[in-house]
Amino acid sequence: MTTTDWRPTACILCECNCGIVVQVADRTLARIRGDKAHPASRGYTCNKALQLDHYQNNSGRLTSPLRRRSDGTYEAIDWDTAIVEIADGFKRIRDVYGGDKIFYYGGGGQGNHLGGAYSGAFLKALGARYRSNALAQEKTGEAWIDWQLYGGHTRGEFEHAEVSVFVGKNPWMSQSFPRARVVLNDIAKDPARSMVVIDPVVTDTAKMADFHLRVRPGADAWCMAAMAAILVQENLYDEAFLAERVTGADPVLAVLRDVPVADYAQCCGVDEELLRAAARRLGTADSVAVFEDLGVQQAPNSTLCSYLNKMLWILTGNFAKKGGQHLHSSFAPLFSPVFGRTPVTGAAIIAGLVPGNVVPEEILTDHPDRFRAMIVESANPAHSLADSAACRKAFAALELLVVVDVAMTETARLAHYVLPAASQFEKAEATFFNFEFPHNSVHLRHPLLEPLPGTLPEPEIWARLVRALDMVAEADLRPLRAAAQQGRQAYTEAFLTAVATNPVVAKLLPYVLYETLGPTLPDGLAGAAALWGLAQKTAMAYPDAVRRAGHADGNALFDAILASRSGVTFTVHDYQDDFALISHADHKIALEIPEMLDEIRSLRSAPAVLTTPELPIVLSVGERRAYTANDIFRDPSWRKRDADGALRVSVEDAQVLGLTDGGRARVTTAAGSAEATVEITETMLPGHAALPNGFGLDYTDDDGRVHTPGVAPNALTSTRWRDPYAGTPWHKHVPARIDPCRADAKAPA
């Protein structure tokens, strides 16, 4: 198939999911550029999107269900056999041990959340309760804080903010909000606006900043506590906002008044006057927006850092105003309101997600409630979770492991069954990273290509598995099938009746939508049926904002989503809506979190030194760079530079350790060791080194040669290094030793 038409779709490499348009030629994404019609990205895209054919057409694509033999090799089997055997295997686990012994990991990645939406029906049918995904490696500490403060997720309006603050965040490389580089350039060029960056590394974003607070690695909490204290001690906080819109402010103000700013400046390694200047800029600005990311979310005191950075905009009243911080609508919730404890280790389950760092311990035990089986969908935890060796051992111990993916990943190689999914450009897809305010958008991507022969879209895979469980009778579905043929209103009425009267239908909603509404949708869009239910919920949750966006009701919104190839704005909020979006009964921010106030008081003790004489360097793994992109690009040929994923070290450390630029070094941690190419750079502080994400994946080229460029980061990390509240890993603070490889060594200074 060849066409000169530009066809809309989206990039799938980060949470922005920028709109792109593509020319297709012989099943390749021949030309790619930004989609000017996309309501959020408006034609913007970064360099990474232009390489998406390396995802679509790499030699690792799977084209048949695979079953593991007793010797560890795999044999191709037909779909009917795979579905029957997998369904029977999970039924056996459920019947012998209970459905709660089945653990689910994944469900999306950066752009295919729609497929994952259908897994819930199969999991509910089995009685599975526990799940996790990459968000539990990053965002659950922040989610726990958010839940207590206001019960939702906030995002800064950086396009209009007078002062933008980035904490452990380099949006020039990692994007994460619409048109990131355009916005950053606009801020840097405007003398009336300022940028504050809190980061030990001189990142691309830090180079543009008016205030670069170059903290010692792991000392971010002291930096932000000092800034919050300066706001209070110099009366730069918004007393009227706190009195009218916030509860629990007095205990927080009392704690911050006692913070010894000079001591904390010394602890974090930032000049006190620079800290004061940055805090004063925040305290006198008309609008402030803040973004925290993995630099603090995967480091010591990560949950406390989430609390402290939100102080910067709450204390200054930068909420519900243009250029401030906002709660926002959601088309589908990424986090569930489920909190609890894991069955074996008792680790905190936050927002429905099991911490990734406890997963091996929840399996490798004789505890009767251990996980016995696992489903992995569009994820690669054997590579992406801490301590890959422990993960591989745990997954190999499972009685049943099923992986749904497009490629033979490191996790798939441990599975009993591997099911080949259609790629994100071969099926209807959508992302639920809908975070913007006041205008929020959703994008149903129509398939660009037919599924590769032998593959299936995830909605069809999950539907076949549910059918194999034989829980839903045709009589349950027949009235809904008939109603779907009569139009949206008839279907709405029939659906509401069925949900109210039929417990089986109510339990398996995504499957029911796929089977009854799906066949009436345009060709290739059956998988979009789940969006109908989400559109109804969205219209009920935000009726005024949905109408402002031009949609009379949920059916009108759904039809607009189906019709728009470039995405649609689904809510338009007024700034005062922010207060209504606070979930507390009084619609006020609840600022006091006793555990976090205790943590602030405990900062009077100097930062704990986690390095040792044997492991004296703080290693940060998973750094975002121009040519890194998580695990989705297995083909390394897309990289135009930094092909080996260099180990970045400071000039000072290179001199002391005898390292040479471009030479080789061995990195050793308590968990393992690996060799890397050295890059000597002034961007790193002495005692701090960094390795990128997206490396250490093996790839077989068209000639059958296997390549494994760079270091797999989690060969060096440990499940024991984790936040005490959320269990998130300390990937950005791994004690390490770096030694030159003998042939590349030079005399140390």
Same domain (yes/no): 156, 300: yes
Same domain (yes/no): 149, 132: no
Q: Report yes or no on 748 lying in a domain.
A: no
- The pLDDT value recorded for residue 748 is 63
Q: Report yes or no on 65 lying in a domain.
A: no
Host domain of residue 636: 610-740
Cβ count within 10 A of residue 192: 8
- The pLDDT value recorded for residue 610 is 94
Kindly state the helix (H) or strand (E) to which residue 265 belongs, with its residue range. Answer: helix 261-268
Same domain (yes/no): 197, 121: no
Residue 525 sits at the vertex; the CA angle it makes with 520 and 528, to the nearest 5 degrees, is 95
The answer to whether the beta carbons of residues 722 and 728 sit under 8 Å apart is yes
Q: Report yes or no on 745 lying in a domain.
A: no
Partners of 699 in the beta sheet?
A: 707
CATH classification of the domain holding 145: 3.40.228.10
Nearest Cα residue to 593 out of 137, 139, 142: 142
Same domain (yes/no): 230, 366: no
Same domain (yes/no): 625, 658: yes
pTM for the complete prediction?
Answer: 0.96
CA distance 614 to 262: 31
CA distance 395 to 364: 9
**Exposed/middle/buried for residue 693 (C-beta within 10 Å: 0-12, 13-18, 19+):** buried
- The pLDDT value recorded for residue 699 is 87
Tell the residue number behind the tokens 């030309």, with chain if given: 31
Q: Report yes or no on 747 lying in a domain.
A: no
Summarize pLDDT for 190-201 with one digit per residue, the tens: 999 999 999 999
Nearest Cα residue to 23 out of 2, 48, 41, 49: 2
Pairing of strands 647-649, 673-680: parallel
Same domain (yes/no): 227, 301: yes
Domain count, the chain: 5
- The pLDDT value recorded for residue 607 is 84
Same domain (yes/no): 193, 281: yes
- 91 alpha carbon, distance to own chain's centre: 31
- The pLDDT value recorded for residue 631 is 83
Q: Report yes or no on 267 lying in a domain.
A: yes
Tell me the one-letter amino acid at 41.
S
What are all long-range contacts of 73-81, with beta carbons under 8 Å and residues at least 24 apart? 74/418, 79/456, 79/464
CA distance 677 to 665: 6
Same domain (yes/no): 538, 623: no
Q: Report yes or no on 351 lying in a domain.
A: yes
Angle at which helices 458-469 and 509-516 pack, to 10 degrees?
A: 110
Same domain (yes/no): 735, 615: yes
Which of helix, strand or coil describes residue 360? helix
**Which residues in the chain land under pLDDT 70?**
1-3, 743-749
The answer to whether the beta carbons of residues 516 and 504 sit under 8 Å apart is no
Same domain (yes/no): 369, 488: no
Tell me the one-letter amino acid at 250.
D
- The pLDDT value recorded for residue 629 is 86
Q: Report yes or no on 749 lying in a domain.
A: no
Same domain (yes/no): 524, 647: no
Same domain (yes/no): 502, 615: no
Q: Report yes or no on 559 lying in a domain.
A: yes
Phi, psi of 237, rounded to the nearest 5 degrees: -90, 160
- The pLDDT value recorded for residue 110 is 82
- The pLDDT value recorded for residue 665 is 98
CATH classification of the domain holding 370: 3.40.50.740
Summarize pLDDT for 624-650 with one digit per residue, the tens: 999 998 788 898 989 999 999 999 999
- Evaluated on CA atoms 724, 730, 733, 736, the torsion sign reads positive
Tell the residue number behind the tokens 């055997």, with chain if given: 85
